Structure 1
Amino acid sequence: MRLVDWVAGAGGELLALAVPVDCVCCGAEDSALCPACTSRIRHLAREPFRAEGGAPALMDVSGTILLPVVAAAVYRDEVAQGLLSFKRHGQHQLGASLARALAGAVRAATADADGFVLVPVPTSTAAYVNRGFSPVHLLLKKAAGHLPGVAVVDALRKVRPSGAQALRWTGLSGGQKGLGRGARSQRVRGSMRVGVRSRPAVAGRPCIIVDDVLTTGATIGEAARALHQAGAKVRGAVVLAATRPPDAADPAPGARMEPPKRP
């Protein structure tokens, strides 16, 4: 975990003590997330579900699953409001509640089996500079406390675009929001790699990619490509929220992924 992420989390806690705050979801006073909205997030995330069916970049033209994804909740209501505010400010109270939901999705995906490696998706340089922290890394750090026997490896790094990539991305200026499947896949292709020092930690090991929100699946697909290239055995991905509800997702029962193979 990067030092600046820890500092951002600690700073958020101190700010909450010093400055009166209102609930980001309902406006109740004296708490960034009131008890009622905390309970509501817990309710919305009570049944993690398979979500790759709503992510076109993770399915082939025949509808075959390329990578399974488990989501803690649908990106709506208090989950969406809480995550959006957390991504902007990194409040401790929000992070604790959202991290519990994320941990629940990991447990559903792994069926509480140990041996998995959780690999967070890296944030963009621009977003990191703007926020001063990585929301996914902070959430996963908090969630890890609820996940004994599961390792977290910060293996993925953003890649500075080559000349050809820079030219390709020039026509896709702005953020990814609003881009379709093809445009998102084109924008992120070749944008990640596994750090040299992290390769031994993921090579040959069952890995689960972790991100905050699933939309088209292009970002998770690129993370899987980079991990595969480093020799990792990518079992799937877990996200806090998916933009498509479960009735638009894969109908396969349950959320469990393939467990690690025992020697």
Structure 2
Amino acid sequence: MASLMNAGPIASDQPGYSFSNAAAAPQHAAGTRQHAFNPYTDNGGTTLGITGADFAILAGDTRSTSGYSINSRYVPKLFRIGEDSSDEQASRIVLAVVGFAADGNALKERLDAIVKMYKYQHGKPMSVKACAQRLSTILYQKRFFPYYVHAILGGLDEEGKGALYSYDPVGSYEREQCRTAGAAASLIMPFLDNQVNYKNQYIPASGKGHDLQQRPTETLPKDVVVGLVQDAFTSATERHIEVGDGLQMLVITKEGIEETFTPLKRD
């Protein structure tokens, strides 16, 4: 034991475990320099879409933010795609984009040009189904440097029914009856699940205890959907600072596209 306690100094090639050895390590004045490229920002806002038997409604607020600052109180997030005012059979398609406003505008311009070019080449407007597939391809082509947006595409299908397609930033999409995206999506989507998809709604007196029957889903009339959209955004502005100022709503029917604007909370 004594020989172990009186052992000589540890060889320099052996690991040291004392804090004094760590403190004696040479210190480098300049650390590793890291270069970053951050081209994206989130400009806030929220969009949503709901379809019915013969209509589709897309809506979005008009506030544009950067952190805790308001850039503008009127920046539309809904865009008409392939519209030609001189043609009664123009494409009745609406694109809603939320996220990075510059990418949203770039995506809108590219899709609009493709839809117009299709009409000039084929002599007929592009269907909303074909437009949905083309939008997915555009997003997927940019998957390594993606458009920083959540897109919702709405219109009427070949049978005249409302069609709504939601996307992730790299092009995965699905057709849905309702969808919301953006800053207040986590607040509005549970509301739509309950009021549009009838989640957790049961038929009264249809069973005993927990054996109640689920309320079957049904298409809602247009005036009811308009009220739901207004209620959803009115509620969201009370709880989220990146949503507010104005509500832009586009109602797509076989007669055309009707646009309305409703003031929202401005603080």
TM-score range, shorter chain: under 0.3
- TM-score, with normalisation over the residues of structure 1? 0.25
Q: Which has the higher contact order (CA 8 A, sep 6+)?
A: 1
Higher strand share: 2
Higher helix share: 1
- TM-score, with normalisation over the residues of structure 2? 0.25
